[in-house]
Amino acid sequence: MKVLKMDIRGQICPSSLLLVLREMNLHHQELVRGNLSIEVLTDNRDATGTIPDAVRNMGIEAFVEKMDGYYRITTKQQSD
Amino acid sequence: MMQPQNQEIIRKPEEPSELELLTEENARLKNINREAFDYIRSKVNCLLEVVGTKNLRPEELDDHSLIEFDPIGIVAQTFQHILENLQETNQKLHFAHDEIQTVFETVGAALLVLSPQGKVVSYNQKIRDLMLGGDVDFLGKRCKDNICHTGIDNERCIFECVMLARREQHLYDWELDGRSFDVIGRPMLDETGNITHVVIAYQDVSARRDAQSSLLQALNATQEANAKIHGILRSAADGIIVTDSSDNIVLINRRAEELIGYCLSRQDSTIQIDHIPHKELVQLLRQAPRREQETFTEDLTFQPAGHSPCICQVRVTVIKSAENKFNGCVMLLHDVTEQRTIDRMKNEFVSTAAHELRTPLATIIGYTDLMMMENDFSAEQKTEFIHQIQKKAVRLGDIVSNLLDISRIESGEGVSLELKPHRFDQLCKEVIKNFQLQTNDHNFVLESPRPSGVTVSFDRFAMMQIIENLLSNAVKYSPNGGEIRISCQLENGICLLAISDQGIGMTSEQVLRIYDKFYRADATNTAISGTGLGMTIVKHLVEAQSGQVSITSSLGKGTTVTITLLAADQMKSC
């Protein structure tokens, strides 16, 4: 599976969310098929709520991990 | 002249300059642009609010970047994806709903959904079939009034139990209208933890309960039967040993344990046949799988603790599966000691009887052949020949009589006796006289009270047979010249007849067996004739006249046989 890495540390919401949504729109088919995963690095706490919620609404699972001074949000296609 | 004062100068308004027009147009366009950007920002903010995030501030994204970045496009496309996902999810939900509805109607359990107020929200066909009946619709009605119409305590009301515990509850053997149910109640909670519904599943276990009851009865009956069979096997007169295909002892009964002298059934673990302390028996079991016959027998001797050795006919039956595979053995140990002893005695008797019959017959044949071949014998010689023939014929008659007597005794017919008072001493004299006529080799001494003698009630013929048998034994087993003493006494109303010889005597073991049929204490000396039936007949005839026989004997010194009979006057009072 391919992994698309996005480092948006320094960005605040809603631009963080919009950036991620734009990438998701661009790669929606691959994400849905489970061929691609997006890994987002962000230091904006609000983004750890808004991004996973938006991702899940599109039927894709998202996991948040707290790293050292930032967060890592990883998407994964839901298995039926 | 022109008067310029106070004269209103009406000037034709000047046309706006090109610059002014452009400036105005620019301001207007700016305004429109501003309004457009404000509109876009407000719409973007609306959309962002929907996705749950903050407003997009100008310092974060200026107007120029707003158009270039196109957040509305991004969010709109996102919404398109969200909508697609919702549609797909909706389809799945519809499918799941249909599935649940099918399961709800076809599941084996009766399902009931209640509101927190105990009103019926939904139920399946099973509920109608088992509990409601008819076509009345119970939706919205109270469960208690319509299902538990017989009245059930709160402790046995699954709805109350679930509402109280707020978690899954079970009730077993819940009774309704003679049926038995296992009931499961589970609450459905909303996000705040409040109960929205209670789902109750009733599993009709009446048939299972009845089947369990029947099965239990059958099991008890089987256990009883098994215990009976085990008891019968344990207490069977024959020894039984059952083994499996691995040569383990599956069953051994008490008799088998007695015979092999080892208690195998008390061992906790599986016992191999090698533990049987009887090598020949183990060998038989080892050979069983290789034998061609499914059943075979062999006589083996056993030595049970504290008992005499015994002979058992061991019958081994091989158990085979449908595929002809060896599955073990059943071994029966049948005690044939008596049978084998009788067989041996019969064989001995046949041999003895043949010998006994052949001897007089040879004499008879010899004399008759002689008389037929030669005719010039004197009258005295002929008389002597006929006398010898007659004597041997009488002997043959005696042997045949003995055989007939023992046959009658064995068959239970008994012997018909005519008990009358007789002088015992006189009868003894008669018998002694007969013996003295046959042989002068022995000295017969009769002791009896004189002159009254001894009067006893007996059957004359039988008593004569008794005394003849006893004297015959005394003569046969005494050396020539030996004294044979016949003592006839009366003591306290009892007649004692004792016949003593100075013969070869017997051991105590021989004395114990002296009344056995066909038993001869000294069978090695074939010169001494006898069938081994005399003492058996004596004992039977004496006891038939309410008397008793006793024997004392000392090897090499002689034997005394004593017969006790009630005196004639005593017999009357009996």
CA end-to-end distance (rounded Å), chain A: 18
* Predicted local confidence at residue B40, as pLDDT: 87
Q: Share the mean pLDDT of chain B.
A: 84
Distance between B78 CA and the closest CA of chain A, angstroms: 6
H or E element, residue B483: strand B483-491
How many CB pairs below 8 A link A and B?
A: 55
**Chain B residues whose beta carbon lies within 8 Å of the beta carbon of residue A27:** none
CATH of the domain at A39: 3.30.110.40
CA atoms of B459 and B430, how far apart (whole Å): 15
Strands B558-566 and A2-7, bridge-based pairing:
unpaired
DSSP per-residue string spanning B333-402 = EEE-HHHHHHHHHHHHHHHHHHHHHHHHHHHHHHHHHHHHH-----HHHHHHHHHHHHHHHHHHHHHHHH
Q: Are B243 and B332 within 8 A, CB to CB?
A: no
The count of domains in chain A is: 1
CA atoms of B317 and B241, how far apart (whole Å): 11
pLDDT digits (tens, 9 = 90+) for B295-353: 999 999 998 888 888 999 999 999 988 888 888 999 999 999 988 888 877 777 677 67
Mutate to test the interface with B, among A8, A13, A18 (most CBs of B within 10 A): A18
Interface contact flag, A24 B56, Cβ < 8 Å: no
| Mean of pLDDT values over A63-72 | 95
| Listed range (B62-71, B381-390, B493-502) with the worst mean pLDDT | B62-71
pLDDT digits (tens, 9 = 90+) for B190-226: 989 999 999 999 988 888 888 888 999 999 999 999 8
Q: Are B186 and B162 within 8 A, CB to CB?
A: yes
* Predicted local confidence at residue B3, as pLDDT: 47
Q: By CB neighbour count within 10 A (0-12 exposed, 13-18 middle, 19+ buried), where does A17 fall? A: buried
| B79 at interface of A, judged by CB pairs closer than 8 A | no
H or E element, residue B301: strand B295-302
CA atoms of B454 and B464, how far apart (whole Å): 15
Best CA proximity match to B402, nearest among B484, B495, B466, B324: B466
Percent of chain B with pLDDT over 70: 90
Interface contact flag, B85 A58, Cβ < 8 Å: yes
| B89 at interface of A, judged by CB pairs closer than 8 A | yes
pLDDT digits (tens, 9 = 90+) for B7-52: 555 666 677 888 888 999 999 999 998 898 888 888 888 888 887 7
- What was the ipTM of the complex prediction? 0.91
Distance between A67 CA and the closest CA of chain B, angstroms: 23
Question: Where residue B229 falls among pLDDT bands split at 50, 70, 90?
Answer: confident
Question: Where residue B572 falls among pLDDT bands split at 50, 70, 90?
Answer: very low
**Which residue from A minimizes the CA distance to B60?**
A15
Locate B482 and state its tokens.
Answer: 């030996």
Which of B71, B81, B88 has the CB atom closest to A18's CB atom?
B71
Give how far the C-alpha of residue B101 lies from the chain's centroid of Cα atoms, to the nearest Å.
53
CA angle B562-B568-B574, nearest 5°?
Answer: 95
User: In the 8-state DSSP scheme, what is residue B523?
Assistant: T
CA distances from A78 to B96, B445, B499 (A): 17, 129, 120
Structural domain of residue A71, as residue ranges? 2-77
* Predicted local confidence at residue A1, as pLDDT: 85
